[in-house]
Chain A
Amino acid sequence: MIPPGPPATPAAFCLSLVILSLAGLALALAARRARLWCVGRGVRVEWVRGLLALPKRYLVDVHHVVGRDPFAARMHALAAGGLLGGSGLALLALIPTLGGARLYWAVIALAFAGALAGGVMVGRRRYPTKPARLSGGRFQILPFLLTAYAAGAMLVAFDAALGGALPALAWPALALAVIGGLGLALQVDRGPMRHAFAGATHLVIHPRPGRFEGERATDLVPLDLDAPRLGVATPSDFAVNRLVGFDACIQCGRCEIACPAFAAGQPLNPKRLIQDLAAAIQPNAANAAYKGSPYPNARAVAGIGGPDLPLIGAGAMIHPDTLWSCTTCRACVEECPMMIEHVDAIIDLRRYQTLELGALPAKASPPLMELRYADEPGGRALAARTDFAAGLTLPLISATGRAEVLLWLGEGAYELRYGRTLRALVTLLHTAGVDFAVLGPEERDCGDLARRLGDEATFQRLAAENIATLARYSFTRILTADPHALHALRNEYRAFGGAYEVIHHTALLDELVAGGRLTVGALHEARVTYHDPCYLGRYNGEIDAPRRLLDRLGLARLEMERAGKRSMCCGGGGGAPVSDIEGERRIPDIRMAQAAATGAGIVAVACPQCSAMLDGVTGERPEVNDIAELVLMAVEAGRAKAARKDVARKDASRPPEPVA
């Protein structure tokens, strides 16, 4: 039936019908894919809140990440905006009053012109040479499909805007639009177009909605230790919104550039990992369709999977070495424009390997065993934690029951190198007159290592026992020099009933210097670069206080190419040093080379792991100093200067000595 009121041109009317059927096809394919998501575990999702928040999440939060690459942002705005806008408007042209208006078709032509420009940009990015981080395969034909559809539809709309002046052009153009459009629609369930609908769904039902509301939201989700299966073995063990997240991936490869394990040639590529997880949700799955960069030095796997088949193992999709290469630095999560939670997926998979199978890397097992029986991964006596402070006054909180500041020493206290840092910190606290105390032999490991290695049972036990210890004492805040302990105490103990105000030593020292309780002299001419610890910068967003503090010391501060929340890991997190998965290079060597490239003579660190990893780099390199050590040097420099002035003043007031 032909609607009342003539459409602009027959070709334009056909275009609207074509788009209607393509939309139907795309919806059917999307529904087929969405049905696969339902193998996942059910999870409570706030649909209404998510749907209402979608525009803001997409236009602000996603754009904020995409916009770090301005070309990609413009490309995506044109291609996606033009494609969706033009197609939507052309669909509405089926309403006779709209479809008959030539001006309306001019607007449609304009929208498709935008899509065409976007399509050309997509092509320019991939041809003549495709950057290594982008995937090939179906992605390489995407620009042709986009430009064909956009150009064809644009010409049809243009003809309609002119009132059908170019019929010889309109019909071939329609054919072009059909070919391009069909290609795009067929890419909806497996190809690049999947990210469009999966990505939108992911933003609505994101597992960490707090990320869109200004929270860092980086604490791991506690595991119910009474659940029938602990952790994730098969795709059906993931919650539905996690599976949607894997499908949201557009394989842009920003994660693989950011990943320290990938850079070191260890067999981890976050992009490939997400693709393997996404591929595994369909029955008789294989990993052959992936056409991006592989896992470096990939270990052989069978590459087969399915919703109820194991994900990890040489006979499955992902080799265990891939899983254990991760340092949990969250660089991939920080870079991901689709807000995918790679680290959560890795920890879920590790939990199953550790808790159910006991399939840890050989060297990761002994520290966990020591943690179980000695509360300390090195199996050392808890009372020996304070040995670093021999000769210093280190008040025990058990003596008085209270202190203004509780100093949490952490694992670093056992190491000779980091002991120097803690000595500097303790000296500074005494100098500033801070009322502080330590737990001494009552301090157990915070459980960070156990948790990142998937041993949630040990973590929860340690958390509960530490919380019980802390409950016995009164203090206003906890001070620590270990960002891993800081993250556990501040963010992860909350779920177990421990809410504390936790402050990092760089923030406290900054406070003390700013408040005049520490007088610092200038450390002249020293060029310093600051290496952000992942668990302080990315996990807790604290990137300013350490920098402010360094500036107060009169140092020339240079920034590395990767700094702040986009800093690169030292390789010391996530149990990576104990898992020790073989690669081609060492992560700290790469990071140290970046530090040396700034021309700095000192790398300032603020974490025992970073300190150990970077100080382990051999050869000609900048010095590694914790910020506490630099502050102590500055305080001593200030004192020396004051003493010199004193002497000078006395000299001036003394009567001149008679000359012989």
Chain B
Amino acid sequence: MRIAILLSAGRHAVSGRPAPVSVELQAIRLARELIRQMAGEVDGNAAGDITGFHAGPDAGPLKDALGHGLPRLIQLSIGAQDDPLPSLAAALGAERFDLVLAGRSGQGGEDAGLLPYALARTLGLPIVADACALAAGPQHGTVSLEQALPRGARRRLTLRLPALVTVHPAAPAPLPFAFAAMRRGMLETREGVPAPRAAGEVEERAYRARPKLIAKSAAGASATERLKAATEAASSGGRLIVDPAPEDAARAILAHLRQIGVLRD
């Protein structure tokens, strides 16, 4: 089992200092526990390997991820303004990874979290978002994962590998930092693929926590109704179809996309 983990150059929400991103550290833990589970009682690294990938100009602050249980980190050296996607796609494409893990979004704020999707498309991998638990699947070459849905709901999926999975903050907390593990961990620097992004002014702003959205229907309504809207599963007007025929499912999805205006004829 070979697992790759994508790491981004995060910053601490208050101090603004370089800091690893929690959800990516949680991905390291999921990967380690998956490998340990597959190997039984054998030492973690015997049954597989975990490699971290970071495309960026400086891997220094990411060394701390090595202290959270990542044995090896590869930095793909690119310019600060370069797009990391080609570098990551080239590096991941060159080696065969069974599973690629990424955070659902880097900092968890206003991040787009698009990179995993773009990468999955480039590599031609299926992508599953928001995993909060990973386990060996029923057959060889599969993993069983729990997907975190809004309001604490969980959905169990079986996924055929290779695949790309993004990790949700509801996954178990990161492994505690071990200074000596960071010291032992391997950091390798490779040349990345220079990919200058289209010039455009990028505005940098201090991080702020994303405000909690209140369901629109309840805005301005009575306190009871707002409470109800905040605590009960909101009906988004969708339809639950259990075990449908693929054609029916596709038709339902298309109908829904048309209804909400994503697809236009």
Contacts and interface: CB of A to CB of B under 8 A. Distances in A.
Interface of A: 225, 229-230, 354-360, 362, 364-366, 368-369, 372-375, 379-382, 455-457
Contact of B12 (A358, A368, A373): A373
A321 to B, nearest CB: 16
Interface of B: 12-15, 17-19, 64, 67-69, 173-181
Nearest to A226: B183
19 contacts: A225-B179, A354-B178, A354-B179, A355-B178, A356-B179, A356-B181, A358-B67, A358-B69, A358-B176, A365-B177, A368-B176, A369-B174, A374-B14, A374-B15, A379-B13, A379-B14, A381-B14, A382-B15, A456-B179
Contacts of A381: 14-15
B14 A362 contact: no
Contacts of B17: 373-374
Contacts of B14: 374, 379-381
B181 A373 contact: no
A369 B178 CA distance: 11
Contact of A373 (B15, B67, B68): B15
A354 B18 CA distance: 22
B177 A230 contact: no
Given A356-B178, A356-B181, A368-B176, A374 B12 contact: yes
Contact of A360 (B12, B13, B19, B176): B176
Given A365-B174, A373-B17, 7 more contacts: A358-B177, A358-B178, A365-B177, A374-B12, A374-B15, A379-B13, A455-B179
Nearest to A359: B176
A-B CB proximity, top 9 nearest: A358-B178, A365-B176, A373-B19, A373-B12, A374-B15, A358-B176, A457-B179, A356-B180, A355-B179
Contacts of A362: 173
A378 to B, nearest CB: 10
A369 B15 contact: no
B15 A230 contact: no
A230 B176 contact: no
A365 B18 CA distance: 18
B208 to A, nearest CB: 13
Contacts of A359: 176
Contacts of A365: 173-174, 176-177
Contacts of A379: 12-14
A364 B13 CA distance: 20
Contacts of A357: 178
A382 B68 CA distance: 25
Nearest to B19: A373
A366 B26 CA distance: 13
- Most chain B C-beta atoms within 10 Å of own C-beta, residue among A357, A359, A373: A373
Nearest to B20: A373
A355 B180 contact: yes
Contacts of B177: 358, 365, 368-369, 372
Nearest to B15: A374
Contacts of B178: 354-358
B43 to A, nearest CB: 14
A469 to B, nearest CB: 15
A453 to B, nearest CB: 10
A381 B12 CA distance: 11
Contacts of A225: 179
A359 to B, nearest CB: 7
Nearest to A356: B180
Contacts of A380: 14
Contacts of B181: 356, 358
B225 to A, nearest CB: 35
- Most chain B C-beta atoms within 10 Å of own C-beta, residue among A355, A366, A369, A381: A369
A381 B207 CA distance: 13
A380 B17 CA distance: 13
Contacts of A229: 180
Nearest to A357: B178
A350 to B, nearest CB: 12
B118 to A, nearest CB: 28
A233 to B, nearest CB: 11
- Most chain B C-beta atoms within 10 Å of own C-beta, residue among A358, A360, A456, A457: A358
A374 B19 CA distance: 9
A275 to B, nearest CB: 29
Contacts of A368: 176-177
Contacts of B68: 358
A503 to B, nearest CB: 30
A196 B83 CA distance: 72
A403 to B, nearest CB: 26
Nearest to A455: B179
A249 B8 CA distance: 53
Contacts of B19: 372-373
- Most chain B C-beta atoms within 10 Å of own C-beta, residue among A225, A355, A357: A355
Contacts of A455: 179
Contacts of B13: 379
A234 to B, nearest CB: 15
B106 to A, nearest CB: 15
A455 B180 CA distance: 11
Nearest to A369: B177
A358 B64 CA distance: 12
A144 B176 CA distance: 53
A366 B19 CA distance: 13
Nearest to A362: B173
Nearest to B11: A373
A501 B194 CA distance: 55
Contacts of A456: 179
A55 to B, nearest CB: 43
A445 B128 CA distance: 41
A360 B173 CA distance: 13
Contacts of B175: 358
Contacts of A373: 12, 15, 17-19
Nearest to A365: B176
A372 B64 contact: yes
